[in-house]
Structure 1
Amino acid sequence: MMPADQRDTAARPQQVSLLGDARSGKLSGNLSAFGRALRRAGVPVDAARIALAQQALQCVGVARKQDVGAALETVLVSREQDRAVFREMFAAFFRDPELAHQLLARMMPRSEREAGPPRARPRVQAALAPPAGAPGTAKPDLELDAAMTASDVIRLKSADFNQMSASEYFLVQRLVRDVALPLPTVASRRTRAGTRGSRIHWGRTLRAAAHNGGDVMALHRLRRRRQPLPLLALVDVSGSMERYARTLLAFLHAATRHVQVGGRILPVCRNVFAFGTELTDLGPAFRLADTDAMLQAAGGLIHDYAGGTRLGDCLASLWRGHARCLVGRRTVVLIVTDGLDTGDPDDLARELGRLKLRTRRILWLNPLLRFDGYTPSARGAAVLHRMADAMLAVHNVSRLQDLAGAIATLVKQ
């Protein structure tokens, strides 16, 4: 029979090594290091959250790795897209001390890297070392995913959205929110006082004359105000466009919220719709200020996500229910789709023709243009190629940065 104290020791779960014992004095330091790693990976972590994490670990204890991970995720993660990043970072941090040290060495400033990684405690090395004589004891080379460190920004900007890992995709979703879209301006119907203009501002002119004894000393003018170019965005949410659609929606929400015109910050007149087998108005979701909240609300509004594509039927629904978006010929239409339409091409051609008559230009944003030998051989793609005024590839961040120039060139035509 095993003594009682030995039985209790054997039954006790293994301690989480890298966090250390709460009484050893290393809990705070390791939590700070883990918080630094998360912050460099793009997760918003501050000193208040680290203090809250320490209190959470004091409540749940550090005896079980699952409890530690759940407690830290609860207090350190506040956004849904950061959960996958946190879990990968947590797994890397607790899988191997050498891997954790290499990860931190990549993330810390140069002065900290030159000092070398901290030495692991002997008990940690002994606990993580393979049994003596066990097969496959040779230690493989440690490799880190560069996307987790958010250091290879140039590579991420040129990487295809559809060929990224989960962690890279979440990082790129944050990158696209910082891409600027300086829209060109157009003259609005409203006027304002100015030194030049085709019309005389009689009110200001007569008021000035009253101060000069009735003598008109100058003719004040009225000029038309400038406003950002109105946009109508139609985003394909079919199965082949799943990743592109989510990224483009995040980009459009952040980049078209407002624009600076003449030193003033003006809102952009934008109408965004998702289409697949049916048309969905994303206006209520786009009125939310936070991009993450917008994506969550859009997911609740779209009922045909990752389905088929019937652009012709969706354009007919646009005419029936949202004709107000097509008033005037100043609006530029952005159609985000790969052109793999399953509807009748004749219906699509007819609806696109109606759209061209009531809008300024149609710009086709096609992720398949990333292939050098791409030709619009599909029936829907052939109709779009014939009816659109221009095409642009939108498969990575660099192409999204070219969108503003493409719109400005299209407007000048």
Structure 2
Amino acid sequence: MTPDRDPSRIIGAAQARAAGAALAPGGHLADNLLAFTRLLRRTGLPLGPGEAIAGLEALTQVDIADRRQVHAALRAVMVHRREHFEIFDQAFQLFWRDPEAAAHAAAMALMDANKPKDEKAPPVSRRLAEAMQGDKPKPPKPAEEPPQHDMTFTVSERERLQQMDFEAMSAAEIAEAKQAIRRLTLPLDEQRTRRFRPDPFGPVADLRATVRESLRTGGEILDLERRRRVTRPPPLVALCDISGSMSRYAQILLHFLHAVANDRDRVHTFLFGTRLTNVTRQLRHRDPEVAFEMVSHIVPDWSGGTRIGESLALFNRLWGRRVLGQGAVVLLITDGLDREGAKGLAEATERLRGSCRRLIWLNPLLRFSGFQPKSQGIRAMLPHVDDFRPVHNLNSLRDLVATLSDPHAAQRGRMAA
């Protein structure tokens, strides 16, 4: 067979001609790929100019007439996490097949809004429909004179959002609050462990390392090796009440717990209403919508009754030894309104306090200036906590972050209680 008749060379030359024609200045593939990248960014995928350039280069290496090769090439260079495969696959099928996909996506979103709750599309489909709907150009606004506002006695929207109660927020304000919560960091004060690490400026002399190093010089000690004790943040355990009286706050606080779980290790989250549910594994998913969808499938008692004493006793019996070691910090998020009264609540709270280093009770009822612990459950739990704090707006969450990063806050909180 002559080189001119080699099938592999003929196919390669045909692919190169097809790719060159598609990427020529007169073609539209580059513009379409850029629009596709913008669509994926609106759905939440972390893409930038580098992924768009890599996708354009990848298309020169495959047969663009083969839809499967194009799909595999773009997904290989543009998707970096396994949980984003489903979003990419649906966006690829919708974007590269129908030029009127934006109109169809808008109709899908409108139909989905009128469906019952149990028949609605999954979060991935809704996010893609909203992203495609964003492609529709907005009509230009009529030219008007800019209104004159007196800003002397007004406050900024950001400051107002920081002080607004979660229960009084609208849907748009809740969305802004969730974005602000995701940007919060939780620097827990680090605790000393029993492990050491080599450090040339450490305060402790390492005799074993010194002798081992002297073997290289015939037993003569030239330098004294030193070491320093290892410090690391303690485990964080969150016990969140999801009963009817706490449902609005629990929905927003779950975003805070999800951000913390994806920012640091050794974070354990439990939800309780009439029963206790461990959602630690579900909240480790990086995509918040997928994580909350997984949580909703395993939590059967959302917005139901409350059995705080029974739930804390079950946690102490099944999970206390597993997650409360090494100076763990416990966040108990509840309003203290137990349907069983104070039955077994004081004993369970006391045992929980004895198993951890700090027990911080976050209660949204403290937002009221005239709050008094009149409930039996609150009076039973209050003597056994280190700190009793409100959790009803963004400012209270920022104060919580400052408290957890202060190593002396536990002693001050317990003395005040």
TM-score with structure 2 setting the length: 0.64
Query: 1:387 corresponds to which residue?
Result: 384
1:207 matched to 2:234: no
SS at match of 1:345: coil
Cα shift at 1:311: 1.2
* In the alignment, structure 1 residue 319 sits paired with structure 2 residue 319: no
Q: C-alpha separation between the residues in 1 aligned to 2:102 and 2:372?
A: 60
Of residues 386, 396, 410 in structure 1, which corresponds to 2:393?
A: 396
Match for residue 249 of structure 1?
A: 254
Q: Which whole-Å CA distance do the structure 2 matches of 1:385 and 1:332 have between them?
A: 17
Residue in structure 2 matching 1:307, options 298, 304, 309: 304
Alignment of 1:4-403 (within 5 A): 58-59=99-100, 69-70=106-107, 101=141, 116=143, 152-195=157-200, 200-258=205-263, 267-325=264-322, 327-328=324-325, 330-403=327-400
**Does the CA-based 8 Å contact 1:161-1:396 persist in structure 2?**
yes
Q: CA deviation at 1:306?
A: 0.3
Q: Which amino acid aligns with 2:409?
A: L
Q: CA deviation at 1:233?
A: 0.7
Q: What's the CA shift string for 1:113-156, capped at 9, x where partnerless?
A: xxx47xxxxxxxxxxxxxxxxxxxxxxxxxxxxxxxxx933322
What letter matches 2:360 in structure 1? L
Residues 291-300 or 232-241, more deviating: 291-300
Provide the secondary structure at the position in 2 that maps to 1:382: helix
In 1, distance between residues paired with 2:102 and 2:352?
63
With over 3 angstroms needed to count, the CA separation of the structure-2 counterparts of 1:291 and 1:315, relative to structure 1, is same
Residue of structure 1 equivalent to 2:409: 410
Q: Structure 2: which 5+ runs fail to align? A: 1-34, 53-87, 112-120, 145-155, 413-417
Q: Distance in 1 between matches of 2:125 and 2:350?
A: 40
CA distance in 2, matches of 1:302, 1:55: 38
Identity over aligned pairs, percent = 33
- Distance in 2 separating the partners of 1:43 and 1:327: 36
Go from structure 1 to structure 2 and tell me whether the alpha carbon gap of 1:357 and 1:55 turns closer, same or farther (over 3 Å shift): closer
Q: Which residue of 2 aligns with 1:24?
A: none
Task: In structure 1, give the amino acid aligned to 2:327.
Answer: R
Contact 2:261 2:283 in 1 (8 A): no
Report the CA distance between 1:293 and its aligned residue: 2.0
1:61 to 1:69, Cα distance in 2 relative to 1, 3 A? closer
Superposed CA offset, 1:262-307 (max 9, x none): xxxxx43221100111110112212322222221111112111101
Q: Equivalents in 2 of 1:298, 1:60: separation in Å?
A: 31
SS at match of 1:271: strand
Partners in 2 of 1:71 and 1:235 — Cα distance?
A: 35
Q: Is the 8 A contact 2:199 2:227 kept in 1?
A: yes
CA change 1:72–1:362 in 2 (3 A) is: closer
CA contact (8 A) 2:181 2:394 kept: yes
Q: Distance in 2 between matches of 1:201 and 1:174?
A: 48
Deviation per residue, 1:350-399 (Å, 9 max, x gap): 01111111111110111111111111211112222222111121111121
In structure 2, relative to structure 1, the CA distance for the partners of 1:52 and 1:346 (3 Å cut) is closer
Question: 1:335 touches 1:363 (CA, 8 Å); kept in 2?
Answer: yes
How far off is 1:205 after superposition?
Answer: 0.9
- The answer to whether the 8 Å contact 1:177/1:250 transfers is yes
- The structure-2 alpha-carbon separation of the partners of 1:78 and 1:159, relative to structure 1 and needing over 3 Å to count, comes to farther
Distance 1:234 1:61, change over 3 A: closer
In 2 relative to 1, CA 304–45 (structure 1 residues): closer, same or farther, beyond 3 Å? same
AA aligned to 2:335 is: D
Q: 1:341 to 1:226 in 2, by over 3 A?
A: same
Compared CA separation, residues 192 and 244, structure 1 to 2 (3 A) = same
Taking a change above 3 Å as real, the CA distance of residues 199 and 61 of structure 1, as seen in their structure-2 partners, is closer
| Aligned partners of 1:82 and 1:170 also within 8 Å | no
Task: State whether residues 235 and 323 of structure 2, in contact with CA within 8 Å, keep that contact through their aligned partners in structure 1.
Answer: no
Cα distance between partner residues in 1 of 2:339 and 2:125: 32
Q: Is the partner of 1:232 in helix, strand or coil?
A: strand
CA RMSD across the alignment? 4.1
Is the CA contact 2:242–2:303 (under 8 Å) kept in the aligned structure 1?
A: yes
Q: Which runs of 4+ in 1 moved over 3 A?
A: 42-62, 71-74, 77-83, 195-200, 325-329
Does the 8 Å contact 1:310/1:341 carry over to 2?
yes
Alpha carbons 2:240, 2:332 under 8 Å: kept: yes
How many pairs align? 314
